[in-house]
Amino acid sequence: MTLKFNKRQLQAYFVCGTQDVPGKDLETIVQTALDAGITAYQYRDKGASQLTAPQRLALGRRLRQRCAAAKVPFIVDDDVELALALNADGIHVGQKDDQVTTVLQRVAGKIFVGLSCSTVAEIEIANQIDGIAYIGSGPIFPTTSKADADPVVGLAGLRQLVKVSKRPIVAIGGITVQELGPVAHTGAAGSAVISMLAQSPDIEQTVNAMLAVTEVRP
């Protein structure tokens, strides 16, 4: 049974794969984050990941079970076949990945779809496409987690995107605990983070900080 999308799931959105936690156990880190109260988890295993496709599928199954037990949406990055094989709750696609319209047709309403948009033009196109659940916008600040990241949007750019978008926006890219409040003040529904949680010395404290600011509005 997949979870339906609601924008509260964007409050404390954790994106992580094995490449983000070298030398550590991804399952343990994700479970700690689930216990701490993250509101969504995106399985993004790529780039420097050493996993084979069968290993990625097996790990995905275990992570998917953990998310289901916690009633937290399990979202797969960019891989429709993997998302369907894992019975994911959602899939997130970028502008450079499969066309979002193709993805929407493939998943046929079984799972929700998020789309990366970093410009007003991209948001305006997304506004015309039925079926997109939410928008991921960024990088808000410089980031080291994505080698192919788009130019930095900044808080002013994020505020503009929120104003134009018909869907809730989750901010991503270089967000630190200190920036959570300013991001929330743009009207974004939440923050999606990789390093801030993956490298946190106290995951519970970091998740609490994310949850504490999400109701802040201009």
43 is in an annotated binding site: yes
116 is in an annotated binding site: yes
78 is in an annotated binding site: yes
44 an active-site residue? yes
194 is in an annotated binding site: yes
What is the C-alpha to C-alpha distance for residues 90 and 106, in angstroms, rounded to an integer? 12
146 is in an annotated binding site: yes
**CA atoms in the 13 A half-sphere facing the CB of 88:** 28
- Determine contact, residues 74/82, Cβ cutoff 8 Å: no
146 an active-site residue? yes
Q: Which two tokens stand for residue 36?
A: 């701490």
Catalytic site residue from 146, 165, 167, 200? 146
44 is in an annotated binding site: yes
24 an active-site residue? no
What is the C-alpha to C-alpha distance for residues 37 and 13, in angstroms, rounded to an integer? 10
186 is in an annotated binding site: no
Catalytic site residue from 56, 64, 116, 137? 116
79 is in an annotated binding site: no
Query: Please, what's the largest Cα pairwise distance for the chain?
Result: 46
What is the C-alpha to C-alpha distance for residues 134 and 5, in angstroms, rounded to an integer? 9
202 is in an annotated binding site: no
Distance spanning both ends of the chain, measured CA to CA: 37
In the chain, DSSP finds a helix count (H) and a strand count (E) of: 9, 8
118 is in an annotated binding site: no
C-alpha of 179 from chain center: 17
Q: Which two tokens stand for residue 17?
A: 């794969």
Which positions are catalytic? 44, 116, 146
Summarize the annotated binding site as residue ranges. 42-46, 77-78, 97, 116, 143-146, 174, 194-195
Summarize the annotated binding site for Mg(2+) as residue ranges. 78, 97
